[in-house]
Amino acid sequence: MTMSSSNGITTSAVVGTVFAGFASFLIITNMSRMLGRAKTSYYYGKKSIQLRTRDGRETSLADLCKSILPPCQLNPFLFNGHLQTIWSILKSKSSPIYYKRWLFEQQDPAYPGTFAVDFVVKPYEPKDTILPRTTNYTKNEFDNIGSDDSKPMLVCLHGLSGGSYELYLRSVLAPLVTEEGGWEACVINSRGCAKSKITTPILFNARSTWDLRQTVKWLRETFPNRPLYGVGFSLGANILTNYLGEEGANCQFKAAVALSNPWSLDVSNAGLQSTWFKRNIYSRAMGTNLKKLYGYHKDVVLKNSAIDDQEVKNVRFLHEFDRAIQCPTWGYPTEQAYYRDASSTDSVLAIRIPFLAISAQDDPIVCDFAIPRQEFLQTPYGVLCTTSLGGHLGWFKPAGGRWMADATNAFFQKMAREVDQEHYSKNHPLPEGEIVMAKREPLRPWFDPMRRKMHAEA
């Protein structure tokens, strides 16, 4: 027997209609996936900052981003985050970018050591290469590197244990550094990465902003007329976001982009350990890469007596490496304490330049729950774009290339070529909380997004 409502519609009919609608939704959703059509969603504050173009028109940062980012049409054969991510590893075609390297000595006594910066240069016949198409500057070459030109310059931060050679990074750089693109660029290699040597036991970590800070200061002095921009990939995106928050209104970048940022590292770590596949494919691979990196620099790292060589040898997964290396290096009691302290979610609220973040919801390395949608709703300076497909630093298109490169380059070219940066820098308002702090009003609570727990003393 079936129950009937007052208008003559039976319960079974209602259930059947709901089921049919849900089935249609699943079919449409799966068809979209199979066709590579990714849904894009945007998150930004109600009072998104106003930008003025050089022809006198005004637009909000949010409207600008939504108008220039292309539709996200991806390769239909790479129809989920795992395939997009794994293809990023397997794909072998490389963008022919040439670098010359210089080793900088960190000036901050709290973080001593050297770090390598690779500068994009015109093609040359490489000799004595460090990496493919990468050699060292001679002292004479580097002493004469300065310029008073006004070309826009991009500062890049790669992902975990990577370097300037990474294909995802080159895909973003390639169209910018051509003669038509008109940009200059450099890549800051995390300490010990990309075949760079370390001179102290200090490796990189997820909030190691000090080498970036010194590089930006040096660039500002060496190229006084170049507008500077920043882009970070994965862990590099987390470091960049933290740096932008630390610098606040004093930031020297005109705009920045974060791609596949892990954001809340404790949440993303929990996601990596939530399934056998993620734990044994992704976390194990990252742990193995970091253990290899440790092996290259073992003699120097072990000058820190707090590090146990046997414990590092037993590392299998990413979080175990962080427990064995990051905790004793930086004084964290557990890797979870390190993750909470180094996360960049709160840093979003302290950024005071135009900031675009792009994340994929099916990223198998960055948990979707870690993406800080609510934080972007509370800041006028940032726009978060999420895509339903894309994986981790994937976003491969049907005919080759990566959508993230198209989106990133569209944003940077718009900001560099059409937005009046001087008008923006002189006229953007302080948020209410900063006005309160400037007035030093007593007994009014306020939130400091950059209050960190780790303190380094010289």
**What are the catalytic residues?**
234, 363, 392
Q: Do β-strands 98-105 and 114-121 pair in parallel, antiparallel, or remain unpaired?
A: antiparallel
Return d(Cα 194, Cα 426) in angstroms, integer.
Answer: 39
Query: Among candidates 428, 429, 427, 434, which has minimal Cα distance to 449?
Result: 434
Query: Among candidates 78, 53, 84, which has minimal Cα distance to 67?
Result: 53
187 contacts 99 by C-beta, under 8 angstroms: yes
Return d(Cα 169, Cα 310) in angstroms, integer.
Answer: 34
Cross-strand partners of 343 = none
Question: CA of 329: how far to CAs of 83, 191, 202, in Å?
Answer: 35, 14, 7
Q: Which residue has the tokens 């208008």?
A: 7
Return d(Cα 131, Cα 165) in angstroms, integer.
Answer: 8
Q: Determine the distance from the C-alpha atom of residue 444 to the mean position of all C-alpha atoms in its chain, rounded to a whole number.
A: 34
Question: CA of 400: how far to CAs of 88, 175, 196, 200, 231, in Å?
Answer: 12, 14, 31, 41, 22
382 contacts 356 by C-beta, under 8 angstroms: yes
Tally Cβ neighbours within 10 Å of residue 142.
Answer: 16
Residues contacting 431, CB < 8 A, separation 6+: 379, 380
Return d(Cα 263, Cα 234) in angstroms, integer.
Answer: 9
315 contacts 298 by C-beta, under 8 angstroms: no
Query: Among candidates 246, 223, 199, 230, which has minimal Cα distance to 347?
Result: 246
Return d(Cα 4, Cα 86) in angstroms, integer.
Answer: 53
Return d(Cα 34, Cα 30) in angstroms, integer.
Answer: 6
